[in-house]
Amino acid sequence: MPVKKLNKLTQAANTYKTILHAMEEWVVIVDHQTKIFFINRPYARFLGVKAEDLIGKKVTDVIENTRMHITVQTGKPERLSFQKILGSNMIANRFPIIEQGEVIGAVGTVMFHDTHEWKQINSHIKALLVEQDFKHQTRLAAEKLDTGANFHLTDIIGDSPIMKALSAKVTQVASGDVTVLVRGESGTGKELYAHAIHQLSDRAEYPFIKVNCAAIPENLLESELFGYEEGAFTGAKKGGKAGKFQLANGGTLFLDEIGDLPLLMQAKLLRVLQDREVESVGGTRPTPINIRLITATHRPLESLLESGEFREDLYYRINVVAIDLPPLRERRDDIAKLADFFLQKLSHRTGRRAPKLTAHALTAMLAYHWPGNIRELENVMEAAFYTSKDRKIGLSLLPSHFSQVAEKLSPNQTPLSLEQASSSSLKEQLSLAERNIIKAVLIECNNNRTKAAKQLGISKSTLYEKLDKHGLT
């Protein structure tokens, strides 16, 4: 009987081989023993092997998450079934091949190779995605309270020494009620650290309220922060409105871009922090508040003190513990990991396989000074993700200034691949990249070290330390 089954499969497959190889859909046929009898070339090409090399192998040893063997066992078809292969979410169909009441094999097809292809076509699949997303959100809601804080310390990517030390400091100060000032350039992730501090504190089950001081018009700031009573001004809502301080009671208030707070509001904020009570606009009676304050700024507050743009007494009130976030150029050994994180995030969102950075692209990224920090890196990866066609991100897919950076590097510098970036030789590779960058900038600045330090975004003393380290003195 097995020989008879095989002969029938052979006859059927030979008739359609040419057609099956020409199809864009991926096709695999297994016999009654779930061994691969036929696989078309497009499918084999995706798996990275030759079609003829797979003949006779168990399908479970070749195709990830396959259910072809189950189709043979049960004799039941499976339509529009999710299957994840090599990181891509695909839709597969599986049908038993039945001859005279007996299952002699099964045929499987992959019609949509990633969710990007079928999302816009199949309304049934869209419904499945919505249902899946609903279940995911329901599970997340059950796992944590909706306090407004969405990020934990574990969500912050980076295992360089400077980031490990930063995580240790955050963990240490989070448990107390001490006021924290988070400082760092734009795009370094200041808000994420505010979320993480709240999540680690005893106030984690209470509200986390955030305010961007630079985004609210000055004439609305007072009512936004302290609330207002009914009839306090024209257009005031009936019953009044609670301010951010009242909403944050018991929890954490995060004031982002505190350096942009107008002087008048600085004085009112100082009084609230000293008296631990807030009076709403149009109100006659102060309300006690119990909050933890976290502030953040990308502006140099010391310079604002000198120019009279920031109150000295408020500065000392908010700067009890300072957490200084490093710019990306000072944690270059995290770049590869961050880049991969953003690509995988986009892959999860779109259903497309995440492309890989080529050696030259990653080397140029390691050498670049990243003025926009992590936010800029995320934007660069997003643009490259959507413009990549062959699942690789080469130098040509990065903005033009990366090519200019690459030209400055030594021709003898070994390109760094993504796999190398996670290996033990990363420190040596980064050191070589740093030496080449400093050397190139010094040449460009005619050996003017003050100008070179400014272009590199580091202090002059740090530059001298690096010159000594790399033997460039």
Q: What is the pLDDT along the chain (473 residues), one digit of tens a residue?
A: 466 666 666 666 666 777 777 777 889 999 999 999 889 988 888 888 998 899 999 999 999 999 999 999 999 999 888 888 887 788 889 999 998 889 999 999 987 766 555 544 543 343 344 455 544 454 444 444 556 777 888 888 988 889 989 988 988 888 778 999 999 999 999 999 999 999 888 888 889 999 999 988 888 888 888 888 766 666 666 767 888 998 999 999 999 999 999 999 999 999 999 999 988 887 778 889 999 999 999 999 999 999 999 999 999 999 999 999 999 988 888 998 999 999 999 999 888 889 988 888 888 898 888 999 999 999 999 999 999 988 889 999 999 989 888 887 655 554 544 444 444 355 666 676 777 778 777 766 778 888 888 877 788 888 888 888 887 76
Residues contacting residue 281 through CB under 8 Å, at least 6 positions apart: 222, 223, 226, 227, 228, 229, 232, 233
* Residue 128, pLDDT score: 45
Is 0.75 surpassed by the pTM of this model?
no
The CATH homologous superfamily of the domain defined by 153-324: P-loop containing nucleotide triphosphate hydrolases (3.40.50.300)
* Residue 377, pLDDT score: 96
Domain ranges of the chain: 2-118, 153-324, 328-469
* Residue 460, pLDDT score: 85
* Residue 111, pLDDT score: 76
Q: Which fold has domain 328-469?
A: Helicase, Ruva Protein; domain 3 (1.10.8)
CATH number of 2-118: 3.30.450.20
* Residue 129, pLDDT score: 47
